[in-house]
Amino acid sequence: MPLVTSKEILERALAERFAVGAFNANNMEMVQAIIETAQEERAPVILQVSQGAIRYAGLEYAAGLVKIAASMADIPVVLHLDHGTDFDQNVRCLRAGFTSLMFDGSKLPYEENVAISKRVCEIAHIAGIPVETELGRVLQAKDGVTPEEVEAAMTDPNQAKEFVERTGADSLAVAVGSVHAMKSREATLDIARIEAIRQKAGVPLVLHGSSGVKHESVVEAIEHGICKVNVATYLNQAFVRGMKEGFEKHPDEVDPRKFLRISRENVKEAVREKIRLFKSNGRIDSSGGFVSPPTQYRSVDIGGAEE
C-alpha cells in the first residue's frame, strides 16, 4: 500500500482507545522487523526517522527504505519525522514524501514554539500532511534528571489548549512523567494530567520516552488519550543484544548477516510486545482497512469546551 498520513489512524486510535506504535527505524533490518511484525499482528504502524537517523543514513535512504517496505505491505504505514527541531528539516521531509511531521520546539521560549509550530502546520497542511508538536519537556535520562525536574517540565493542560488552537497542530507530544532514553522500566505517568490535556486540547496525544515507563501506566495512559507511543531505546537495546549474542555464538564469523539476522528477530519480538501492549493488534483486515466500522467507535468526549 502507498504510505498513509497519521491523521486518520490517530483519530481512529483516539476514538477506539488504542495507541499506534511509532517505532524508530535506524537501518534496513529495523524497518523490515517493524513492518513484518505489524503485518503479522494486523496493526497500523508508524515508522519514524529522527534527525540522528537522517544524519546516519541520509534522508533519501531513510525515506526510501520505509517507502519500499510500505509498498509491499497490506497494512497502513506512516512515514514520520521524529523530533524535527527546525522549520527547514520539516520542509525537507515534506519534500521527501514524509506523511507525518513533527516540529519539536519544546526547548524554545513558548511564543517561539507557537510561532514556528504554526508555520510548519500551515505549510504541511497545504500538502495534506499532519503535524505533531510538543509542549512541555520530555527530558533526557543521560542528563541525570530528578523527579522534581520531571514534574516542573510537565505540560500544562490550559496552555496545551491554547497552543493547539494557535498552532493548528494535529497531535501533541506531552510531558507527563516519562524521560527519554531510560534503560529500565520504572517511571509512572501523571494520568490525571493526560486526561485534563485530552479534554482541553482535543487532539490525539503522543507519549515520548515510553521505554522507561511501567507497562500498566502505559496502558492506563492509552485509556485516557495517548494515541501514539514512541519506541526507540527498547528497539535499539533489542538490536544490540542480538549483535552481542551473535558475536558470542560465532566469534570467528565474518559474515555480518549472521549477527544482523539475530538482531532483526530480536527487534521483531520487541515490536510485537509493544503492539500488543498498545492494543493496536487485530485492527486491520486483509484488505488493509480498519476492522470495526465507525459505528462501533466508543463514544468519547474530545471536546475542549469545558473548563
The residues annotated as belonging to the active site are 82
Give the DSSP H/E element, type plus range, for residue 178. Answer: none
What span, in angstroms and rounded, lies between the C-alpha atoms of 54 and 65? 12
Scanning the structure block, which residue is given the C-alpha cell 507530544? 173
Question: Which residues have CB under 8 Å from 285's CB, separation 6+?
Answer: 42, 291
The count of other CB atoms within 10 Å of the CB of residue 184 is 8
CB of 237 to Zn ion, least distance (A): 16
> Would you say 90 or 281 has its CB closer to Zn ion?
90
Q: How, if at all, do strands 77-82 and 101-103 pair?
A: unpaired
CB of 1 to Zn ion, least distance (A): 27
What span, in angstroms and rounded, lies between the C-alpha atoms of 147 and 69? 40
> Would you say 161 or 208 has its CB closer to Zn ion?
208
CB of 187 to Zn ion, least distance (A): 14
Q: How, if at all, do strands 131-135 and 45-50 pair?
A: unpaired
Kindly report the backbone phi and psi dihedral angles of residue 152, in degrees, each rounded to the nearest multiple of 5, phi listed first. -65, -25
Question: Which string of x and - marks every residue 233-262 that binds Zn ion (by CB under 5 A)?
Answer: ------------------------------
What span, in angstroms and rounded, lies between the C-alpha atoms of 288 and 306? 37
What are the C-alpha distances in Å from 292 to residues 84, 148, 200, 284? 34, 43, 27, 9
- Residues numbered 197 to 216 that lie near Zn ion (CB under 5 A) are 208
**Residue 95 grid cell:** 519534500
What span, in angstroms and rounded, lies between the C-alpha atoms of 47 and 24? 6
Q: How, if at all, do strands 77-82 and 45-50 pair?
A: parallel
CB of 126 to Zn ion, least distance (A): 26
CB of 102 to Zn ion, least distance (A): 9
> Would you say 199 or 236 has its CB closer to Zn ion?
236
> Would you say 36 or 86 has its CB closer to Zn ion?
86
By beta carbon distance, the residue nearest Zn ion is 208
> Would you say 71 or 140 has its CB closer to Zn ion?
140
User: Judged by CB under 5 A, does residue 228 bind Zn ion?
Assistant: no
> Would you say 208 or 283 has its CB closer to Zn ion?
208
Scanning the structure block, which residue is given the C-alpha cell 544482523? 260
CB of 230 to Zn ion, least distance (A): 5
What are the C-alpha distances in Å from 143 to residues 2, 25, 31, 105, 180? 40, 24, 29, 19, 10
Contacting positions for Zn ion (CB under 5 A): 208
